[in-house]
Chain A
Amino acid sequence: MNNLPINPLSCATEGAGGPTGTWRSHRPVIDPAKCTGCLLCWIWCPEGVIAKEDRSINYDYCKGCGLCAKECPAHAITMIKEADHE
């Protein structure tokens, strides 16, 4: 009983749905030389894991949906099989 949380409310926290980066079979890789900074990937990423400033990707939570690669007008994003990465 004493271990129950005092406050029954949840707090906004990254990873509330777990380490969703492990869901990924393919990872998006951005070529900064091709990126024009249009910000379309930033606004459309469902998880919001693409940084507005430099389009760096938080792979801890990127689910690998492939939407950013599909929508990038400059074709700057490629989906690479996880095993083949590195």
Chain B
Amino acid sequence: MSDTIKNVKLADMPAYELVKAGTGGCAGCPSPMGLRIVGKALGPNSIMVMTPSCAVASIGVMPKSCYDVPVLNVCFASAGASAAGISMSLDAQLKNGALSGEKPTVFTWVGDGGTYDIGFQGISAAAERNDDFIHFCYNNEAYSNTGVQRSGATPKYAVTTTTPAGKESQKKNVPLLMLEQRIAYVATASLAYPLDFYRKVQKAKSIQGFKYIELHAPCGPGWKFASSDTVELARLAVKSGAWLLWEGEHGKLTLNAPTKQLAEGKMPCAELEEYLKLQGRFAHIMKSTEKAAAIEAMKSEIRREMDFMLGREKL
């Protein structure tokens, strides 16, 4: 249930809808769910850059689009370069008088495939140049739109069409790379904590320079769970420690609730098995004789990451 949100002030969020109803996304899709909150935080004076993904496939059929702001769908490797170019061009036009008023917020909405793997160099370069835009990675932990291939964000053990026996390697940690790049602002977020996500997007909007926000985005068809369970999966990921909530400004790290309390042992973690057993992509583990060992290995990875982040927070 919704014990993740206390004293909700959802009423303060604007009614503005960036996503028009009747998208091409699957029932229960995390992408429009996240984008609706992004729209409420950024407002309509925004420009969105996308790369091939479910979010692009969801747009609908020309001449209709489900997105209420100008959208550029660019080639996979170039989200970072394209968003940087748009932002620089706006700066130039504001300077020479071709444009006036508030600068539109330039942001990307890119999958984990487009962020962790194919688009990484362009995003990393924009981070290093401190280009003025927000990069959003909605992380559904696979190349969902092309039929669920493994990506650099797919967790170990998960079955995808290219890891039929379960993935053997650990996932990358791109948010941590961004933290160590000491960019203007970096945050992780969860669909189960919409107010935390909203606050982080608003904060990113208020900061000049390169911002990176990664939203954990459980995908029913990709992870094999029911369409009604998207938020439940997002919540269990945070409560079990499989997904950590934190933010960093110029390298200064802050762990957010409830990750902080879980990491400090002030609150017990939810059983990881509760999270795993709802997902068909881990069913082979649940049925295997190695189940206990695999879950132990996953838990010790979580403990290691929590200890690492607690130590990193002191820097």
Contacts and interface: CB of A to CB of B under 8 A. Distances in A.
Nearest to A62: B21
A46 B64 contact: no
Contacts of B315: none
Interface string A38-57: 11101111111100100000
A33 interface: no
Pick the most buried of B10, B22, B64: most chain A CB atoms within 10 A of its CB: B22
Interface in A2-33: 5, 9-21, 23
Q: Give the interface SS of chain B, mostly helix, strand, loop or mixed.
A: loop
Interface in A38-80: 38-40, 42-49, 52, 58, 60-61, 63-67, 69-71, 73
B20 interface: yes
B1 interface: yes
B37 interface: yes
B27 interface: yes
Contacts of A10: 59-60, 62-65
Contacts of A16: 20, 22-24, 59-61, 64-66
Contact of B23 (A20, A44, A58, A65): A20
B10 A48 contact: no
A61 B32 CA distance: 13
Interface residues of A, number: 39
Nearest to A7: B63
A43 B22 contact: no
Interface size class on chain B is 35 or more
A52 B8 CA distance: 14
A39 B23 contact: no
Contacts of B30: 46
Given A48-B32, A58-B21, A64-B27, A5 B63 contact: yes
B309 to A, nearest CB: 28
Q: Which of A16, A38, A73 has the most CB of B within 10 A?
A: A16
A63 B27 CA distance: 6
B33 interface: yes
Nearest to B66: A16
Nearest to B36: A48
A65 B29 CA distance: 9
Nearest to B5: A40
B8 A47 contact: no
Interface string B2-30: 10010010110101010111111101111
10 contacts: A15-B64, A42-B10, A45-B33, A46-B27, A46-B230, A48-B17, A60-B22, A63-B27, A65-B27, A67-B227
Q: A-B pairs with the 9 shortest C-beta distances?
A: A16-B60, A66-B228, A17-B24, A15-B22, A16-B64, A65-B27, A10-B65, A63-B27, A65-B28
Interface of B: 1-2, 5, 8, 10-11, 13, 15, 17, 19-25, 27-30, 32-33, 36-37, 58-68, 191, 194, 226-232
